[in-house]
């Protein structure tokens, strides 16, 4: 079959891209292969594990069961967008500090899901975090250190004025 290419516009981590893609291309593959953003991982490829989780218009989705054409005209946030230059995002620092990762395979998805949880519930209880990250699988940490990292990041995200791609770096200093 001759698949016509579809022109799509994705705003990824604040940067606008116009691309021509086959309709069959998955968002995760377009992010990794076409845009050179391999931070978003691929695991199960059927929506179960969560390592491919990105934020689409600020809501978490599985990039492995989202067609790139479904994201046309929308904004995508990936793990690459979390750090501000050399300054890690509070969640990244707390994952590091509390050992919220071991092999790191689940981490990009876990971080993006944690961003959504804290944007929706800025001051969560441990149970809310536990319930919230139940959407993402981790085979290494036993989850406890991830929960601790998210809880430690919460007050920092409330007070530190989280990274915002629309604010130029100078304006934040």
The smaller minimum CB distance to another protein, of residues 99 and 128, is found at 128
Query: What is the token pair recorded at 150?
Result: 């998210």
The smaller minimum CB distance to another protein, of residues 59 and 103, is found at 59
Q: Is residue 102 a contact residue for ligand FES (CB under 6 A)?
A: yes
Using the rule CB under 8 A, which residue among 40, 60, 92, 141 binds another protein? 60
User: Residue 75 is inside which H or E element, if any?
Assistant: strand 75-77
Give me the helices (H) in 55-168, please: 90-97, 107-120, 126-133, 144-159
Distances (CA, A) of 106 to 12, 62, 69, 141: 21, 13, 25, 10
Of the CA atoms within 13 Å of residue 48, those in its CB half-sphere come to: 4
Closest CA to 95 of 125, 119, 115, 122: 115
Q: Is residue 167 a contact residue for another protein (CB under 8 A)?
A: no
- Please give the full DSSP string across 105-127, using - where no structure is assigned: SSHHHHHHHHHHHHHH-SS--HH
Q: Is residue 66 a contact residue for another protein (CB under 8 A)?
A: yes
Among ligand FES, another protein, ligand FAD, none, residue 26 binds (CB under 5-8 Å by kind): another protein
The least distance separating ligand FES from the CB of residue 143, rounded to whole angstroms, comes to 9
Q: Is residue 51 a contact residue for ligand FES (CB under 6 A)?
A: yes
Binding positions for another protein, rule: CB under 8 A: 1, 3-4, 6, 22-26, 29, 45-47, 50, 53, 56, 59-62, 64-67, 69-70, 72, 113, 116, 131-132, 134-135
Binding positions for ligand FES, rule: CB under 6 A: 42-45, 47-52, 62, 64, 101-107, 138-141
């Amino acid at each position: 079959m001759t698949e016509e290419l579809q022109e799509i516009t994705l705003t990824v981590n604040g940067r606008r891209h116009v691309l021509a893609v086959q309709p069959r291309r998955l968002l995760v593959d377009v992010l990794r292969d076409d845009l050179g953003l391999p931070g978003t991982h691929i695991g199960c490829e059927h929506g179960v594990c969560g390592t491919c989780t990105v934020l689409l218009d600020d809501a978490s989705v599985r990039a492995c069961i989202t067609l790139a054409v479904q994201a046309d005209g929308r904004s995508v946030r990936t793990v690459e967008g979390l750090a501000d230059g050399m300054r890690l995002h509070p969640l990244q620092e707390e994952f590091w500090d509390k050992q919220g990762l071991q092999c790191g395979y689940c981490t990009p998805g876990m971080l993006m899901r944690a961003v959504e949880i804290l944007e929706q519930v800025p001051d969560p209880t441990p149970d809310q975090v536990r319930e919230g990250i139940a959407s993402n699988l981790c085979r290494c940490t036993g989850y406890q250190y991830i929960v601790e990292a998210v809880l430690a990041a919460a007050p920092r995200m409330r007070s530190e004025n989280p990274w915002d791609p629309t604010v130029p770096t100078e304006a934040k200093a």
